[in-house]
Amino acid sequence: MGHGWEGVVLRLMRGKDFTFTVRSTEEVADRYRRLRLTDGGMLAAIGTHPTMWVRLWFDHAGKPHQRAYTVVDPDPAGGTFSLEFALHEGRASDWARTARPGDTIEATVQGTGFSVPDPLPSRLLVVGDPASLPAINSLLDSMPLTPATIWFEVPHPSDADLPLRCDAAHHEVHLIPRHDNGARLIETVRSTLPGLLDDGSYVWIACDTATTRALASYVRKQLGVPKERLHALGYWRAA
């Protein structure tokens, strides 16, 4: 499958192409599925870092269609990793629902990059949802002893049971039902985050694009958090 103009641009930006093969599947929840894949040599060629992501390519009505997913539990020695899919309408979810061992998917790695802050933050302040759950878990795994407060938006009741890698000794989790296109999450974070913020905090935001922009602007402009202590990336667009 050709990757169209997006593929050309990614190649010019030194993107690297790989083919992944499904090894196993797991139903994590009724709207959430995990696939274990062989990496086609990716991990040996690229290495790993927290919140690392890859672009998967799908055919959509005869046109190439790419979506980004976070690498979960990479095993460079074994050449395997997992991907997790919050299932909804869309070509990527359709593929993930029906994927079986032996199926293959083309991928490009370009644009991913994150370094653990040095020195470590005094506290992580994390805002996310099921789409960014794998990245949240990767972030927490990379700083296991750092205290963290997580605001996790829950679009559907079953999402409250998704596997956040938290422990009561270091992590505080607030489950926020999704209402009014993220308005409740924004209001909750704005009312509670300032009381937890200090000069050593690190703020990490990954929700739908509009919510992410609103919260990132608030954190930067009204709370005065410097850009080196803020990571914000919209993971999806609300319809």
The CATH number of the domain holding residue 43 is 2.40.30.10
Query: Residue 236's pLDDT is what?
Result: 84
- Residue 43 located in a structural domain: yes
Residues 49 and 96 in one domain: yes
Question: Please, which residues have CB within 8 angstroms of residue 69's CB and are 6 or more apart in sequence?
Answer: 53, 54, 56, 83, 84, 85, 92, 134
- Residue 200 located in a structural domain: yes
Residues 75 and 129 in one domain: no
Identity of the residue numbered 138: S
Question: Please, which residues have CB within 8 angstroms of residue 223's CB and are 6 or more apart in sequence?
Answer: 193, 194, 197
Least confident of 72-86, 103-117, 122-136, 202-216: 103-117
Q: What is the average per-residue pLDDT within 210-236?
A: 95
Total of domains in the chain: 2
Q: Is the pLDDT assigned to residue 45 strictly greater than 60?
A: yes
Residue 213 belongs to domain spanning: 123-232
Residues 44 and 17 in one domain: yes
* Dihedral sign from CA coordinates of 127, 130, 136, 141: positive
Residues 82 and 128 in one domain: no
Are 137 and 72 spatial neighbours (Cβ–Cβ below 8 Å)? yes
Q: Which of 181, 184, 187 is nearest to 208 (CA)?
A: 181
Residues 29 and 81 in one domain: yes
Q: Is the pLDDT assigned to residue 233 strictly greater than 80?
A: yes
**CA 37 to chain CA centroid, nearest Å:** 17
Residues 40 and 105 in one domain: yes
Q: Is the pLDDT assigned to residue 113 strictly greater than 90?
A: no
Q: Is the pLDDT assigned to residue 35 strictly greater than 60?
A: yes
| pLDDT per position as a tens digit, 56-82 | 999 888 888 889 999 999 999 999 999
Residues 68 and 131 in one domain: no
- Residue 38 located in a structural domain: yes
Q: Is the pLDDT assigned to residue 12 strictly greater than 70?
A: no
- Residue 201 located in a structural domain: yes
Query: Residue 94's pLDDT is what?
Result: 94
Which of 109, 142, 166 is where one domain is finished?
109
Residues 64 and 127 in one domain: no
- Residue 86 located in a structural domain: yes
Question: What are residue 22's DSSP bridge partners?
Answer: 37
Query: Residue 4's pLDDT is what?
Result: 66
Residues 105 and 127 in one domain: no
* Dihedral sign from CA coordinates of 138, 139, 142, 144: negative
Residues 144 and 209 in one domain: yes
Mean pLDDT estimate for the chain = 92
Burial of 1 (C-beta count, 10 Å sphere; 0-12/13-18/19+): exposed
Residues 99 and 18 in one domain: yes
Task: Output the pTM of the full model.
Answer: 0.90
CATH number of the domain encompassing residue 146: 3.40.50.80
Query: Residue 155's pLDDT is what?
Result: 92
Query: Residue 145's pLDDT is what?
Result: 94
Residues 38 and 82 in one domain: yes
